[in-house]
Chain A
Amino acid sequence: MHGFANPTRFLNIARPLTPWFLVLGLATIAFALGAGLFYTPPDYLQGDSVRIMYVHVPTIWLGMAGWAGILVAGVMQLVWKHPLAGIAGRAIAVPGAMFTALGLITGSIWGRPTWGTWWVWDGRLTSALVLFFLYLGYIALASASEEQGGTSKMAAIFGIVGAINLPIIHYSVTWWNSIHQVQSITLQGSTIDMAILWPMLVSMAGFTLLFAAIVLMRMRTIIAGVRIEARLRRMAEG
């Protein structure tokens, strides 16, 4: 992993990867959402509202995966002092927060026709809302304590401690009585019919590629900002 510690080496890989992730992500999402809207059948219980799952599941997945990325970046920053880890953590935070918010909003929109309510304060919904607030806290802390484009130790520790919320979100539907259904996709298989499952998995893959493209763009932006600052300082010093 330390092979990528040099920003120039990282940029040599990130620059060609960014457009590939971007184009593949957009094409995969367009295909999955087109199929989800016009090709797949309605669910026998939920009716057409099941089509909202094709945007809800990928967005909330990215919210949780994003914080897992912040956890890994925090560990790499504190244990191995990887110079790009703090930059990666900062780059993940804003898209992670936005996709968590989209997961909450699309879940709420799905809940109205399916459950008859926009919101309930049950374990799953509340812990997902806590994840969104954790993102806001991380963004504020990382911005306030920026060091060489990366984050301070305090922000890295916050990212690691905040990861305790991920298993809480995952197991909330089994630990507490919840209006939210239990996990449909587990390591043992899926209870979702394949006609509905495949566009959901394709949509998740597409949104993940797009998320990777956005994170690479944001990392490149931060690295360019650090270089501008260093160059201006050198020019000012003569």
Chain B
Amino acid sequence: MDHWPFIVAAYGITIGATLALLGWSMAVMRARENKADALRKEHRR
């Protein structure tokens, strides 16, 4: 049995899911922190 299709699938799923979680976590963090900063500046004015 050729093992490489299984290896490619395992690496593909792991790398894809990890990068997706990383990208999502980073995007939500940036959006939330920017909003908090904007509100803080607005409140100071």
Contact A221 B6 (CB under 8 A): no
Residues of chain A contacted by B7 (CB below 8 angstroms) = 37, 48-49, 51-52
A231-B39, A231-B40 known; A217 vs B9 contact (CB < 8 Å): no
A37-B11, A110-B10, A231-B40 known; A47 vs B35 contact (CB < 8 Å): no
Query: What are 8 sample pairs from A and B whose C-beta atoms fall under 8 A apart?
Result: A49-B7, A56-B10, A109-B13, A213-B22, A214-B22, A220-B32, A228-B32, A235-B39
- Band of interface residues on B: 20 to 34
Contact B14 A102 (CB under 8 A): yes
Residues 35-94 (chain A) with a chain B CB within 8 angstroms: 37, 47-49, 51-52, 55-56, 59, 94
Contact A47 B3 (CB under 8 A): yes
Contact B21 A98 (CB under 8 A): yes
| Residues on B facing A (Cβ under 8 Å) | 1, 3-4, 6-7, 9-11, 13-15, 17-18, 21-22, 25-26, 28-29, 32-33, 35-36, 39-40, 43
Query: Does A127 reach chain B (CB closer than 8 Å)?
Result: no
